[in-house]
């Protein structure tokens, strides 16, 4: 921890204690820390911090601004109904698609790209377990295992989930993205405590532990592609006509406009995504998703890709993995939580609080496409929510208050209803689009921010923002609904009934 944070920490801790008392409206103060704790939940300890895990109290930012319990419940239920069960063409991202021997199947789709991603599937499961929607949870988990779980032993990523699949269950990628595995594991641990464990696929605790063990202990394997997801599949071959979804016309127009603007400024537009695997042979070596030496999640498990993504760092979850996950890895996860808290302070812009999309394991910056600084972009929206939920649940690092104050102040100064969705870390806009998902995630920053004008402005902005619809409803919508749950104090550590 650098000198700045050491000097400000005592004052911030005193302030946060005052805010905790002032923000009690709408909190659940009735649950004692030990009530109904299921088998395997260890007693509270001095290292458990002073947040919701220790106290059972969750701030309700909407109640603090005068919203009634009925209004808040209607807001959350309305968003869930639209995004999970609304009009299929314009509103929802959740689609049920038949059944198999394990029960109903369903996916969450990135409508603009016509695919299902482990990110969205695991977000959908987390929303479902938080809202006690077991059918939706089980259907998403079933689809994930049926189509996304890599079972071909010749694929070096065997045991992980392919990060992107077409909605017909055919692959769009043959490797994983660790943020999906992290949310899968946490959602499953919550499910075990909310509904109890079933058999096989629905033994939630065993399934979570399997994922967590794989993340750290996956063997280093090398294979030559093209690869398969399942042994019986044909090799994955990139299909140009299938990859370009007919649903993303607005996005393509916006990207073309941005490219033209950058060229007019004498700059080089970002390149297209890397070419997907073709039928040409290529070699991949994959190992654990966790970097052992630095106690960090990797960007991808491919050996040689030595960097991370701050938005993948979930210290609030890691603390629970250290209590509920495999016993042999609990010390690792506890250390990873502390490392993530330090990373947030080291990599964010010192005046803006904006985080880069990627950085090196030593917490130094990485170059972007043009050799400049890695920007704050789409992944980065989530980082403020990550550190703020950590503060809410654990309250172990007063520096997270400073970071939330910093990013909320910067973006409020850019215009609460107009700020761009991509920036340099110093605060130069790199887009003209204003995104609901970024508004939502930054509003969650209020769980750690000092109460005041900026925190209130974000809460009011999220409250009046409509539920995302149309082509871009996937990422915006998932962040919107999860943020409603966070800001209302309804996104909780599920410890049992």
Please state whether the peptide bond connecting residue 216 to the residue before it is cis, i.e. omega within 30 degrees of 0: no
Residues 6+ apart with CB under 8 A from 239: none
Closest to 478 measured CA to CA, from 440, 428, 423, 450? 440
Confirm whether 255 is a catalytic residue.
no
Considering the candidates 64, 309, 319, 379, report the single residue annotated as catalytic.
Answer: 379
Cα-based distances in Å from 196 to 189, 269, 410 = 10, 50, 44
Q: Which of 49, 3, 55, 9 is nearest to 34 (CA)?
A: 55
- Distance between CA atoms of residues 465 and 440, nearest Å: 9
**Radius of gyration (C-alpha) of the chain in whole angstroms:** 22
- Please tell me which residue in 64, 115, 119, 495 is annotated as part of the active site: 119
Going by C-alpha positions, the residue among 398, 424, 299, 408 that lies closest to residue 342 is 398
To the query of whether residue 260 is one of the catalytic residues in this protein, the response is no
Dist CA 357 CA 382 (whole Å): 10
Residue 356, classified by CB atoms within 10 Å of its CB into exposed (0-12), middle (13-18) or buried (19+), is: buried
In degrees rounded to 5, what are phi and psi of residue 108? -105, 130
Dihedral over Cα of 50, 53, 57, 63: its sign: positive
Q: Which residues are catalytic?
A: 119, 379
């Amino acid at each position: 921890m650098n000198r700045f944070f050491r000097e400000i920490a005592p004052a911030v801790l005193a302030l946060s204690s005052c805010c905790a008392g002032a923000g009690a409206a709408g909190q659940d103060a009735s649950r004692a820390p030990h009530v109904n704790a299921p088998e395997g939940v260890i007693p509270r300890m001095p290292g458990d911090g002073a947040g919701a895990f220790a106290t059972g109290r969750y701030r309700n930012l909407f109640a603090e601004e005068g919203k009634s319990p009925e209004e808040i419940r209607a807001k959350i239920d309305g968003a869930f109904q639209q995004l999970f069960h609304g009009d299929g063409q314009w509103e929802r991202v959740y689609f049920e698609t038949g059944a198999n021997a394990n029960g109903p199947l369903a996916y969450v789709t990135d409508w603009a790209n016509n695919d299902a991603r482990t990110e969205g599937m695991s977000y959908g499961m987390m929303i479902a377990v938080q809202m006690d929607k077991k059918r939706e949870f089980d259907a998403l988990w079933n689809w994930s295992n049926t189509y996304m779980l890599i079972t071909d032993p010749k694929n070096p990523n065997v045991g992980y989930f392919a990060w992107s699949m077409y909605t017909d269950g055919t692959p769009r990628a043959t490797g994983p993205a660790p943020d999906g595995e992290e949310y899968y594991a946490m959602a499953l641990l919550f499910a075990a405590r909310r509904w109890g464990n079933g058999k096989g696929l629905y033994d939630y605790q065993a399934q979570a532990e399997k994922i967590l063990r794989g993340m750290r202990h996956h063997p280093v394997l090398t294979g030559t592609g093209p690869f398969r997801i399942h042994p019986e599949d044909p090799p994955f071959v990139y299909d140009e006509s299938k990859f370009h979804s007919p649903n993303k016309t607005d996005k393509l127009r916006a990207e073309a406009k941005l490219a033209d603007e950058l060229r007019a400024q004498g700059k080089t537009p970002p390149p297209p995504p890397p070419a997907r695997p073709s039928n040409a042979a290529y070699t991949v070596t994959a190992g654990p998703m966790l970097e052992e030496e630095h106690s960090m999640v990797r960007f991808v498990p491919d050996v040689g890709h030595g960097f991370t993504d701050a938005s993948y760092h979930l210290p609030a979850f890691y603390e629970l993995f250290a209590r509920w996950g495999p016993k042999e890895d609990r010390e690792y996860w506890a250390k990873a939580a502390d490392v993530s808290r330090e990373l947030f302070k080291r990599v964010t812009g010192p005046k803006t609080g904006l985080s880069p999309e990627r950085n090196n394991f030593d917490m130094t910056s990485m170059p972007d496409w043009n050799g400049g600084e890695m920007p704050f972009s789409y992944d980065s929206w989530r980082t403020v929510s990550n550190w703020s939920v950590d503060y809410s649940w654990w309250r172990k690092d007063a520096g997270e208050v400073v970071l939330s104050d910093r990013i909320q102040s910067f973006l409020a100064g850019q215009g609460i209803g107009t700020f761009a969705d991509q920036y340099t870390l110093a605060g130069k806009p790199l887009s003209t689009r204003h995104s609901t998902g970024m508004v939502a995630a930054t509003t969650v920053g209020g769980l750690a921010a000092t109460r005041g004008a900026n925190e209130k402005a974000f809460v009011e902005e999220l409250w009046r923002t409509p539920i995302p619809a149309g082509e871009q409803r996937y990422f915006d919508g998932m962040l919107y609904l999860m943020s409603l749950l966070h800001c209302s104090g309804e996104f909780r550590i599920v410890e049992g009934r």
